[in-house]
Amino acid sequence: MTVKIDIDKCGHIANCPAQGLCIQLCDQQALVEENGDVKIIDENCTDCDLCIMNCPNQAISH
């Protein structure tokens, strides 16, 4: 199962206290920036949970 992003909690990369850390941490390139938002590439996600553990807004979950 891939991760889900709660857009209301995420608040766009520009407003992220960690400045898109989830994208930087994802070695599988399952999270990418698209028009200032975080986009999930489902087929790349391996459920490592690094993005979930490091999201300062708790916007990423299963």
Q: Per-residue pLDDT tens for 17-57?
A: 999 999 999 999 999 999 999 999 999 999 999 999 999 99
State both tokens at 33.
């920036």
Residue 42: the pLDDT is 95
Give the number of domains in the chain.
Answer: 1
pLDDT value at 61 more than 80? yes
CATH number at residue 35: 3.30.70.20
20 CB neighbour count, 10 Å cutoff: 18
Give the structural domain span for 11. 4-61
Q: Residue 2: what pLDDT?
A: 87
Counting every residue written for the chain, the total comes to 62
